[in-house]
Amino acid sequence: MTPPIVDSAAVQPVALPRAPAALAGLRTLARGLLRVTESPAATVGLAIVLLWVLAAILAPMLSPYPPNANDFAAVSSPTPSRAHWLGTDHLGRDIGARILWGARTVFTVAPLAVLGAALLGALLGLSAGYYRGWVDLVLSRAGDIILTFPVIILYMIVLATFGSSAGNIIAVLTLTKAPIIARIVRGLTLELREREYVAAAKMRGESALYIMVVEILPNARGPLLVDMCLRMGYTIVLIGVLGFLGIGLPPPDPDWGGMVKDTYGMMSVWPHMSLFPCAAISSLVIGFNLLAVGLREIALRD
């Protein structure tokens, strides 16, 4: 039997299904994690940060007690025990539980503040570096005015006026950190705007927004990511300082800085009340700093 003749021109190629966007994102994340493991410092830093992230996520399951529950029987003997591994504070609240729940506060306020500052700073820095002229002059002088204010005094004025809520803390941290990031992005933009791929984009008739976001910003991501990791550490310390000064998150929400403020006067008798929250702040800051150092090492090797 003669096989049927098939017109090759009529045969349409079969379109292979594309990988889902989520799968492509996971592959990108996996490649990024593999790059991080190239640096011992970045590996250790990432491990510390991920441990605290897991602690914050699993706080309801890991916490032996509610963060604000009072054990009045432990008030007279707040030292670490089998019932309270890290001891209790002066009100009988479990320190371990409050540190775990306080990690949730840190990983809510600090990332949002740093991300907001990075987005705003990148927008201002790209505009100043790309357009130059009067745009650069106005934006740079506005940033200088904000940076001339003593940071802590500025925070105290703003938070005392509008209240010490999480939203207000994120907003004031975003506005005060954005000018520093804008300076970094501006310097990178002044260099990158002279590259050949930017000139090619101009010849194609691409808009200024396209050139800044698609051509310049991705090539500035390395230094920006390193700065964001360092800024996370600074922001965590600053959140602790605000809590210690009494202008952080309002009680009774767990706040590492507030925990130190409430108990630092008892350090001569029960030092664990302040040392454990301080150790939590220090370990997380060290983790982000090591991650930043490692990312810088990887960027320099590329």
Beta carbons within 8 Å of 55's beta carbon, 6+ residues apart:
62, 100, 103
Give me the mean pLDDT over the 276-297 stretch. 94
Number of domains in the chain: 1
Q: Is residue 234 part of a domain?
A: yes
What is the mean predicted confidence (pLDDT) over 71-82? Answer: 86
CA distance 157 to 177: 16
29 part of a folded domain: no
Q: Does any domain span residue 1?
A: no
Domain span at 162: 38-301
Strand partners, 94: 88
pLDDT of residue 287: 96
The residue-averaged pLDDT of 147-161 equals 83
Look at residue 273 and tell me if it is in a domain: yes
Give the pLDDT confidence score for residue 45 in this predicted structure: 94
Say which residues have a Cβ less than 8 Å from residue 191's Cβ, sequence separation at least 6.
Answer: none
With respect to residue 81, please indicate whether it lies within any of the assigned structural domains: yes
Tell me if 32 is assigned to some domain. no
- CA dist 159 and 177 (Å) reads 16
The single-letter code of the amino acid at 105 is T
Tens-digit pLDDT profile for residues 220-233: 888 899 999 999 99
Residue 57 within any structural domain of the chain: yes
Read off the CATH number of the domain in which 133 is found: 1.10.3720.10
Mean pLDDT, residues 231-245? 92
Most confidently modeled range among 4-18, 60-74, 102-116, 237-251: 102-116
Over the range 190-222, which residues count as b (16 or more CB within 10 Å of their CB) and which as e? eebbeeeebeebeeeeeeeeebbeebbbeebeb
Residue 223 located in a structural domain: yes
Interacting residues of 180 by C-beta distance below 8 A, sequence separation 6+: 117, 121, 147, 231
Whether 124 and 139 have beta carbons less than 8 Å apart is answered as: yes
> Who contacts 28 (Cβ-Cβ below 8 Å, separation ≥6)?
none
